[in-house]
Structure 1
């Protein structure tokens, strides 16, 4: 069983903590950044269309590189630039806004490009082969619909950085593994043997096996209608110049309004990421070991 499946990659971040454009930063000597391993895994799992949301700082040389790869490997590739006014808001004063509006806005930019079920990921996160295989199964067997989305989640202990606090969406599930809430926390870190985050100046400890969202969602294109309505609500709320419209918040609102249910599956794959520049060595060592185990070719595209 097979169907049209799209991978939507959010690659528009500015990489302020990483101090560079980590979404196109090559990890090994083959020059492939993390998102090329994601594309490779998705294609192997049966995905056949790749859409990448980028900002204007992405080098044209990298766009040409990936265009050449898509032609050689014969998969559909589309680029979308996320800009402040990508979703026009009549009468809105953009003068104080310095950057686009966040992940919810980024996904909405793909409204006219995606008409099929799709997976949304971050460009700078490595999710592992199993995540895409699970997602492909959910789409192919029509488990993703107007009323049911999906999420691949990871135990929080496996998603921390040794170089500083990280932002994670803490998941609360019902007895059938449907999402009740996803609570975005920006200060999750390990202190001695405890995993904590700080809220209202109070440290809160969480269990190492607590599932967290790493922005690996499986969506039906119906989400675009709700996203558009919610984005205009967000603008009408008079957000501050730095405030962002996040995809987990939009999904949470759809759950609260009983528009959808989100089935959460725990990934058996290892998650890896590069929040900070010093995280790069970890992912480099990991991918080197994966290549030695013949899970990836030394050059991803040969």
Structure 2
């Protein structure tokens, strides 16, 4: 099918644990960061519009680079800045705020640019090729509506890091694979071939096949109006300077309060993230193997004069 399909990339993070702007950090000698591999895979699966939420620290040189890629590969590209004052009432004092409001706010910032079903991803996660085809098919077959979204999740065993603990949203579903809840757990790690996290001083073991959210959602644009209401309520609650408005929590409220069904599907793809700087070598080795297996070209965009 030829429907309009959008990929929304959240690239506004500050990369504190990575110690740099990992969303634009090139992985191989071709200079392409993870988000370009995500764009490449999405375009191959039939997506035709890319919206990227960024912060003011993203250099103009990278914006020009991707603008050139867009022009040479004929896809629609929009940049959206996630500024602290967006969708915040003028009467609210946010002068002590130093970081963005979180992923829910980042999605809301794209409201004026997206009017069709869309996939939302993190810029610093490599999700694999097949998951975009799955999402594209779900949109084409009208599985996404104002009353039904999707979360494409990964087995927790495939999402760990050898370089430190990770935080993951552990999914609980009913017998029809509809989401009941996403429970965020931190300090998830592997110890002696066992996956555990610590809660209230107690170590809890997790089945390796447990599905976790890696922020790969397929949304209907009705989400923007709901996010605006929820974010306004969040601001009215007088949040702490470091408190964030997260997309999984907002989606949970939409399910609980509005009756929106969230179908959960298992990703057919390999996931690799860059939480820590040491994770980069793992992704580099993986992509080099994929290039050898002809899954990606050596020069992702086959352009000579990229700045």
Q: Equivalences for 1:144-155 in 2 at 5 Å?
A: 144-155=144-155
Instruction: Name the TM-score, length of structure 1 as normaliser.
Output: 0.99
Instruction: Name the TM-score, length of structure 2 as normaliser.
Output: 0.97
The CA deviation at 1:244 is 0.2
**What 5-or-longer segments of structure 1 have no aligned partner?**
none
Report the Cα distance in structure 1 between the residues aligned to 2:25 and 2:188, rounded to whole angstroms.
25
In structure 1, the residue matched to 2:305 is none
Report the Cα distance in structure 1 between the residues aligned to 2:85 and 2:99, rounded to whole angstroms.
10
- 8 A contact 2:152–2:264 mirrored in 1: yes
The CA deviation at 1:89 is 1.4
Q: Deviations over 1:147-190 (max 9, x none)?
A: 00011100000000000011111000111111110111122111
The CA deviation at 1:86 is 1.6
In structure 2, the residue matched to 1:243 is 243
Q: Which moves more between the two structures, 85-94 or 39-48?
A: 85-94
CA-based RMSD: 0.8
In structure 1, the residue matched to 2:221 is 221
Q: Report the secondary structure of 1:257's partner residue.
A: helix
Q: Deviations over 1:57-108 (max 9, x none)?
A: 1011000000000000000000001010021313100111111100000000
In structure 2, the residue matched to 1:143 is 143
Q: Report the secondary structure of 1:20's partner residue.
A: coil
The CA deviation at 1:192 is 1.3
The CA deviation at 1:201 is 2.2
The CA deviation at 1:259 is 2.9
- 8 A contact 2:126–2:272 mirrored in 1: yes
Superposed structure 1 runs of 4+ greater than 6 Å apart:
none
- 8 A contact 1:83–1:99 mirrored in 2: no
**What 5-or-longer segments of structure 2 have no aligned partner?**
303-307
2:27 pairs with 1:17? no
In structure 2, the residue matched to 1:68 is 68
The CA deviation at 1:2 is 2.5
Q: Deviations over 1:188-231 (max 9, x none)?
A: 11111111112222221110000000000000000011101110
Q: Report the secondary structure of 1:153's partner residue.
A: strand
Q: What number of residue pairs does the alignment pair up? A: 302
The CA deviation at 1:258 is 3.8
Q: Equivalences for 1:106-255 in 2 at 5 Å?
A: 106-255=106-255
